[in-house]
Amino acid sequence: MDKIKCAIIGPGNIGTDLLYKLLRSEVLEPVWMVGIEAGSEGLARAKELGLKTTAEGVDGLVPHAIEDGVSIAFDATSAYVHAENSRKLNELGILMIDLTPAALGPLCVPPVNLKDLAGRKAMNVNMVTCAGQATIPMVAAISKVQSVDYAEIIATVASKSIGAGTRKNIDEFTRTTSAAVSKVGGAAEGKAIVVVNPAEPPLMMRDTVYCETVDQPDQEAITASVHEMVSAVQQYVPGYQLKNGPIFEGRKVSIFLEVQGLGDFLPKYAGNLDIMTAAAARTAEMFAQDILDGRLELSPLKENA
């Protein structure tokens, strides 16, 4: 069967890890890697793996995208350049999966709302942030059982696993995550806290989720829903683990998670990057399947909405 052809923009840690995941996909085929530095290791690696590469950014891809049949592009650059990248590729009818915190398109956390995105004809889908991917499934697992007044997440990532782009734009990271905790997680109000820990050897990504339910939490139903959601995430991130909880104290529900990466390209401690690339790959696979089955037809977008 034909696979849907993809381009990756940003040959850094995330882009490269994503490339390894796409190479294993049954429905996606990575064909282009786009960078901005000719000497970049990521571009060289992609070339070795058989991809076409350009160091001229998205403008280097645009003239070839159609003839090479690219239907889906992943943006692993930064929130600031994403809008332009997206506009240029959407004009060619290429669907954009956004791994930056730009949050232009609908937010996607696969086990929570991927199915809702089918048929919406969005040409840009945003993967929130790694902290969002790790914690929002838990907020949703609780809000599904009982209304959540307030949800708060604390994500701790290893210093070595977080790139210059995220550091420079930590405010967007925090805000996009907070907004998605409520919007996608289903809490009336959301708050996100991010901590970068430099310990050596690097620590696994840790995530804590606190939710306050409107009334006394239904402990049994919430516990069951949380365990079910953990299994759903484990289907694409096998190292997603409930370390402690859920524990209950008044209206507060506390959940303590650890995310170990698959170790595709990045070390296992970088569960934060793994969950991001795995979620992006899973999202693209759903759209790819829809295209292959004739349920989805991509068309050029003239004015970026």
Partner 1 sequence: MMTLEEQVRGKKLKLHDMCLRDGMHSMRHQITLDQMVDIASGLDDAGVPLIQVTHGDGLGGSSLNYGRGLHSDSEYISAVAKVVKKATISVLHVPGIGTLDELRMAADCGAGCVHVASHCTEADVTEQHIGLGRELGLDTVGFLMMAHMTPPEHLVEQALLMEGYGATTIYCVDSAGYMLPDEVTDRIISLRKALQDETEIGFHAHHNLGMGVANSLAAVAAGADRIDGSAAGLGAGAGNTPLELMAAVGERLGIETGVDLFKLMDVAEDRVLPIMPEPPRADRDSITLGFAGVYSTFLYQAKEAESKYALSARDILMELARKKMIGGQEDMIEDTALTMAKERDLA
Pick the closer one to partner 1 by CB: 56 or 256.
256
Single out the segment in contact with partner 1 by CB under 8 A; choices: 15-23, 55-63, 239-247, 267-275: 239-247
Compute how many residues bind partner 1; rule: CB under 8 A: 33
Q: Of 18, 65, 203, 284, which one interacts with partner 1 (CB under 8 A)? A: 203
How far apart are CB 113 and partner 1 at their closest, in Å?
A: 25
* Interaction of residue 219 with partner 1, rule CB under 8 A: no
How far apart are CB 105 and partner 1 at their closest, in Å?
A: 22
Q: What b/e sequence results for 216-246 when a residue is b if at least 16 CB atoms lie within 10 Å of its CB, and e otherwise? A: ebeeeebbebbeebbebbeebbebbbbeebb
CA torsion 186→17→12→53, rounded to 10°? -120
| Contact mark string toward partner 1, 94..133, x via CB under 8 A | ----------------------------------------
Q: What is the 3-state secondary structure (H, E, C) of 102-159?
A: CCCCCECCHHHHHHHHCCCCCCEEECCCHHHHHHHHHHHHHHCCCCEEEEEEEEEEEH
* Interaction of residue 59 with partner 1, rule CB under 8 A: no
Pick the closer one to partner 1 by CB: 31 or 79.
79
* Interaction of residue 247 with partner 1, rule CB under 8 A: yes
3-state secondary structure of 58: helix
* Interaction of residue 250 with partner 1, rule CB under 8 A: no
Nearest-angstrom CA–CA distance, 64 and 224 = 50
CA dihedral over 223, 229, 233, 235, signed as positive or negative = positive
Is there a contact between 105 and 122 (Cβ–Cβ < 8 Å)?
A: yes
Q: Is 244 marked within a binding site?
A: no
How far apart are CB 247 and partner 1 at their closest, in Å?
A: 7
Structure-token match 């991509």, residue found: 298
Q: Of 38, 49, 188, 199, which one interacts with partner 1 (CB under 8 A)? A: 199
* Interaction of residue 283 with partner 1, rule CB under 8 A: no
Single out the segment in contact with partner 1 by CB under 8 A; choices: 97-105, 139-147, 162-170, 216-224: 162-170
* Interaction of residue 206 with partner 1, rule CB under 8 A: yes
Tokens matching residue 142: 């609780």
Strands 187-197 and 148-158 turn out to be parallel
- Of the residues 6, 108, 130, 211, only one is catalytic, namely 130
* Interaction of residue 164 with partner 1, rule CB under 8 A: yes
Q: How far apart are the first and last CA of the chain?
A: 33
Q: Of 83, 154, 179, 296, which one interacts with partner 1 (CB under 8 A)? A: 154
Is there a contact between 147 and 213 (Cβ–Cβ < 8 Å)?
A: yes
Q: What element of type H or E holds 84? A: helix 79-90
Is residue 211 annotated as part of the catalytic site, yes or no?
Answer: no
* Interaction of residue 214 with partner 1, rule CB under 8 A: no
* Interaction of residue 171 with partner 1, rule CB under 8 A: yes
Is there a contact between 96 and 125 (Cβ–Cβ < 8 Å)?
A: yes
Mind telling me the catalytic residues?
Answer: 130
Annotated binding site for NAD(+): 272
Residues engaged in binding partner 1 (CB under 8 A): 150, 152, 154, 156, 159, 164, 167-171, 174-175, 191, 193-199, 203, 206, 208, 210, 212, 243-245, 247, 252, 254, 256
